[in-house]
Amino acid sequence: MLSARSLFQEILDDDESFRLFCSIAAGGESQGGWENGRIAALVPQSERALAPKIARHGDDEDKHGRIFNALMKKRGLEPVPVPPETDYTMLLERRGIGLAHDRLRRSEPLTVQDIVVYLSHSRVTEQRAADQMTMLRARFADHPEVGRAVRMISHDEDNHLAYTHEELLRLAAAGHGRLIQHTLRVCALAEIRVHRDVSLAVLARMGRILGWPRTKSVLLVAGIHAVYGYERLGGWRRMVTLRMPERRNALGGPATPAPEFA
């Protein structure tokens, strides 16, 4: 029977597939940490109050990267290079989504419009991350090896999503609503394509490692395309709606430490 739980359990049970999964996840989280750190340093003067929250976001992403590396280390595994076709962050940047890395490497302060782009990009990608972690938490929260990591990362992703809602609503009230809605739509439509492509690439890699029969691979590919079809027809709208979150000021304090993964 094909289910999210059985597939992820299969990946967990094999060292090579587990190493690839954790390497891809750690690479994306570490990249997110760098991006948020640079954005926090370049926030325009009018938005300086936002800088500590952006920095906290980056600290959380760095922490997640360390957690995935620690999970590998516990098994005596070393990270592997992230295959380019599975690099979600890089592929989004190539589509012009978010703030370009060459822009972030310069010392020139960002504009308020740049902050709108950053927060809109985060709103969309954090929705994906929160959804995925909610799924894993429902099935693996009590898993002896990864349960603690899943619970911690899921909590953080929910905070990140709440923060983007709150800050975008604040900026919309300040007169940036039209730009926010346009940027959210562009980001969401690009993200669902990148997510589909990355999912197919990861699936192909995992299938080779785990020796999946052709029938199983075909069914999984069909499932990925079905999800993309649903999202293309209207599922993407969940990524662009804004509502005031129950968790207010979700990134208003220091990052939660993860001493058990140090």
Domain assignments of the chain as residue spans, ordered by start:
4-243
Q: Please, what CATH class does the domain formed by 4-243 belong to?
A: mainly alpha
Phi/psi class of residue 96: alpha, beta or left (left: φ > 0; alpha: ψ in -120 to 50)?
A: left
Percent of the chain at pLDDT exceeding 90: 92
Q: Write the pLDDT tens digit of every residue in 124-166.
A: 999 999 999 999 999 999 999 999 999 999 999 999 999 999 9
Q: What are phi and psi of 205, to 5 degrees?
A: -65, -45
Q: Residue 3's pLDDT band (boundaries 50, 70, 90)?
A: confident
pLDDT at 262: 41
Angle at 223 between CA 218 and CA 224, to 5 degrees: 100
